[in-house]
Chains A and B, each alone.
Chain A
Amino acid sequence: MCRIGQEPGPHDADNEDDEEGPTAAFAALLEDSVEELYENAPCGYLSTLMDGTIAKINGTLLAWLGQERDAVVGRMRFTDLLTVGGKLYHETHFSPLLRMQGELSGIALEIKEAGGGRIPVLVSSVVKHGGGGEPQLIRTTVFDARDRRAYEEELLGARKAAEQARKEAEADRARLQDALAVLQQSLLPDSLPSVPGLDAAAHYRTASPDRLGGDFYDLFPIDADRFAFFLGDVCGKGPQAAAVTSLTRYTLRAAAVHDPDPVSALTTLNQVLHERYTGGDPRYCTTIFGTLAPDPATGRVTVHLAAGGHPPALVLRGNGKTEYLPTPGGLLVGVLPTATFTAATTVLEPGDTLLLYTDGLTEARTGDDRTALYGDEALLDFAADHAGRSAQDVIQALTGLLDDLGDGLDDDTALLALGAPALTPRTEATA
């Protein structure tokens, strides 16, 4: 302990010769007397006999308790000052430890005020031994811990509030995820319709679960003999992109019924998008739109399609040949008030499959440093290995490919395969 100057103490008698020195003047400034210091110290003092009977107590502690000295000294034990919980703790922990160790410090207890209130305190005790080593009495200091307790409660309260806020944020996030999932589903068909004479399969992969994707596809009847399909990619992500996707989907569906010619349908969509999103925040999409006319007699499916700004469809022939169906020069849909779109036609023989995809697949980053792109050539090679397979098989193979590309997929990917079913070998069936 560091002593500053010389406090008047029990040994002051030894220092009386120095009374005239500067030390004495300093001491006089500090404290009038030891008794004064004891009585009005900024902490409570008490001394008890070994059985706990209070032998001496200072004014500070009496003031906290709201008790008179006469009612306490020789009449009460230390534990009488404590709350029920404090008493219990004193009996089971405090007292045994004190007897064992001879001292204890900083134990948090609560003392009772005369008015019924409680004061949180920190208690330290030390056993004073007599000349023969036998325990004589217990000296105890009591520090007011109200400020400290209040601070602890504040901390606890802040922690509870933070915990609550975190729970609420998690719940909000879960709700938002649910809402997004429902919206996302409304942008895509629940399931593809069953089309006589046609195999159809689709797959949709979002690159990020909490950002609404902008890819879309659909397949639906336009008259007794024909179906229409489309697949595309709206620029951007999130709710704004989803709004464009929704507008695009329903515009194309309506346009197809009005005039199923692919270039006409895309022209209508172009006008609608350009009119709606003119100005500083252009919204547009890339789309392939087409019609399918299955011929029950031959098993062939005639495809008319047109594309605007979209990567070309792939045709996987049953004989193993795989090729792009080029639609060069078709402009992004919605950018200009008038735009040109490029039409193409093909006939799917039984066993042939038409594959539509969005650029999430071909623009997937590959390689160790994720800087190379998967690319058109790689897709052509991959598709060639699966030529002659059913639409479902082709989609399943591509789903596996997307799994392999993993986090190289920066963007959503939509896949739609439309195939003319291979003819069942009749010779074998009838044999």
Chain B
Amino acid sequence: MNPLQTTIRHAPTGPVLEVNGDLDYTSAGEFRALITALTLQPGQRLVLDLTGLEFCDSSGITAMIVARNHVHAADADIALAAVPDHTLRVLRMVGLDQILALHPDSEAATRP
């Protein structure tokens, strides 16, 4: 079990949230609170950099859907960067790879 750690940096395209550790039943609530407290301008893009994501369960998947709904409500967009294989497999299984933009890394995800 790895505690969830997040850091936010700002790119020209909008906020980039680096997610490290486990996004699971115990940490998803905190993550959802963090996401929904973010203010996005219309046209901005929230990038979740998942390079350091160790584990993601269905609660984590729900948190990503919450993030998507939150940014869409602000007429902004969301993209995932560097999705680890274990999570990519789940995203494909549940069809979310069709509705969340996936990028190989945060550099590609923050290209205007």
Interface residues of A (CB under 8 A from B): 233, 235-237, 279-282, 284, 286, 308-311, 328-332, 335-336, 339-340, 359, 363, 373, 410-411
Contacts and interface: CB of A to CB of B under 8 A. Distances in A.
B62 interface: yes
Looking at B62, B94, B95, B96, the one whose CB has the most chain A CB atoms below 10 A away is B95
Interface string B61-81: 110011001100000000000
A235 B58 contact: yes
A336 B69 CA distance: 10
Contacts of A336: 99
A340 B96 CA distance: 11
Nearest to A237: B25
A280 B36 contact: yes
B59 interface: yes
Given A280-B36, A282-B69, A335-B99, A309 B62 contact: no
A330 B95 contact: yes
Looking at B36, B65, B66, B94, the one whose CB has the most chain A CB atoms below 10 A away is B94
A335 B66 contact: no
A411 B57 CA distance: 10
B98 interface: yes
Interface of B: 25, 36, 57-59, 61-62, 65-66, 69-70, 86, 92-96, 98-99
> Main SS of the interface on chain A?
loop
A332 B94 contact: yes
A284 B86 CA distance: 21
A235 B59 CA distance: 7
Given A235-B58, A309-B93, A311-B93, A331 B66 contact: no
A281 to B, nearest CB: 8
Contacts of B96: 331-332, 335
A412 B56 CA distance: 17
B66 A280 contact: yes
Nearest to A376: B89
A274 to B, nearest CB: 11
13 contacts: A236-B59, A236-B62, A282-B62, A282-B69, A308-B95, A310-B93, A311-B93, A331-B99, A332-B94, A332-B95, A336-B99, A340-B95, A411-B57
A310 B99 CA distance: 16
A418 to B, nearest CB: 22
Nearest to B24: A410
Contacts of B92: 328
A280 B93 CA distance: 23
Contacts of A236: 58-59, 62
Nearest to B99: A336
A297 to B, nearest CB: 38
Given A235-B61, A236-B62, A331 B70 contact: no
B84 to A, nearest CB: 13
B65 A335 contact: yes
A340 B66 CA distance: 20
A301 B25 CA distance: 40
Given A235-B58, A236-B59, A282 B95 contact: no
B16 to A, nearest CB: 22
Given A282-B66, A309-B95, A332-B94, 13 more contacts: A233-B58, A236-B59, A236-B62, A279-B69, A281-B66, A309-B94, A310-B93, A311-B93, A340-B95, A340-B98, A363-B57, A411-B57, A411-B58
A11 to B, nearest CB: 75
A310 B98 CA distance: 15
B95 A329 contact: yes
B93 to A, nearest CB: 6
Contacts of A309: 93-95
Contacts of B66: 280-282
The 9 closest A-B pairs by CB, nearest first: A331-B95, A309-B94, A332-B94, A282-B65, A235-B62, A235-B58, A309-B95, A330-B95, A335-B65
A110 B9 CA distance: 76
A310 B61 CA distance: 14
A307 to B, nearest CB: 9
Given A282-B65, A284-B65, A410 B57 contact: yes
B80 to A, nearest CB: 15
Contacts of A280: 36, 66, 69-70
B69 A331 contact: no
B30 to A, nearest CB: 15
A340 B99 CA distance: 11
Contacts of B86: 373
Nearest to A286: B94
A386 B96 CA distance: 33
Contact of A331 (B36, B58, B61, B98): B98
A410 B98 CA distance: 27
A410 B96 CA distance: 22
A429 B35 CA distance: 68
Contacts of B57: 363, 410-411
